[in-house]
Amino acid sequence: MTSIEKYEWVLLSNKDRVKPLAILRTEMPIFGEINGIVAGDLFDDRKALAEAGIHPPLVAGISGTQGEGADSIVLSGGYEDDVDLGDVIIYTGAGGQKNGRQVSDQKLERVNLALAKSKIEHLPVRVTRGHKHKHPLSPAKGYRYAGLYYVDDYWCDKGKSGYKVWRYRLIAEKTDSLDYLVKEPSGEYELPKRKQTTGNRIVRDYQKAKNVKAWYQFQCQVCGLAIETSAGLYAEAAHIKPLGKPHNGPDIESNILCLCPNHHVMFDNGGFAIDDNLNLIGINGKLNELKKHRISAEFIQYHRDHYLKNTE
DNA sequence: ACTATAGCGATT
DNA sequence: AATCGCTATAGT
- A238-275 pLDDT, tens digit per residue, is 999 999 899 999 999 999 999 999 999 999 999 999 99
Phi first, then psi: give them for residue A69, nearest 5 degrees: 110, 170
* Residue-level pLDDT at A99: 84
Give distance CA A264 / C1' C6 (Å): 39
Nearest to A128 by CA among A220, A69, A65, A48: A48
Helix (H) or strand (E) holding A91: strand A88-92
Q: Which ranges constitute the DSSP H helices of A171-307? A: 201-215, 261-268, 297-307
Distance in Å from C10's C1' to A222's CA comes to 63
Compute the average pLDDT of residues A222-248.
96
A115 touches strand C (CB under 7 A): no
pLDDT band at A100 (very low <50, low <70, confident <90, very high): confident
Q: Is the CB of A79 under 7 A from strand C?
A: yes
Which segment of A8-12, A81-85, A199-203, A285-289 scores lowest on mean pLDDT? A8-12
Q: Check residue A204 and give its pLDDT.
A: 64
Q: Residues near A283 by Cβ (< 8 Å), separated by ≥ 6?
A: A222, A266, A271, A272
Q: Confidence band (pLDDT; 50, 70, 90) for A174?
A: confident
How many angstroms separate the CA atoms of A277 and A297, rounded?
9
- Mean per-residue pLDDT of chain A: 85
Q: With beta carbons less than 8 A apart as the criterion, state whether A42 and A133 touch.
A: no
* Nucleotide of closest approach to A29 (CA, C1'): B10
Residues 7-46 of A with CB under 7 A from strand C: 45-46
Which residue is nearest to the C1' sugar atom of B10, using CA? Answer: A57
Q: Any residues with CB less than 8 A from the CB of A5 and at least 6 apart, and which?
A: none
pLDDT confidence tier of residue A294, bands split at 50, 70 and 90 = very high
User: Which nucleotides of chain C does any protein CB come within 7 A of?
Assistant: 4-8
Question: What are the residues whose beta carbons fall under 8 Å from the beta carbon of A204, sequence distance 6 or more?
Answer: A251
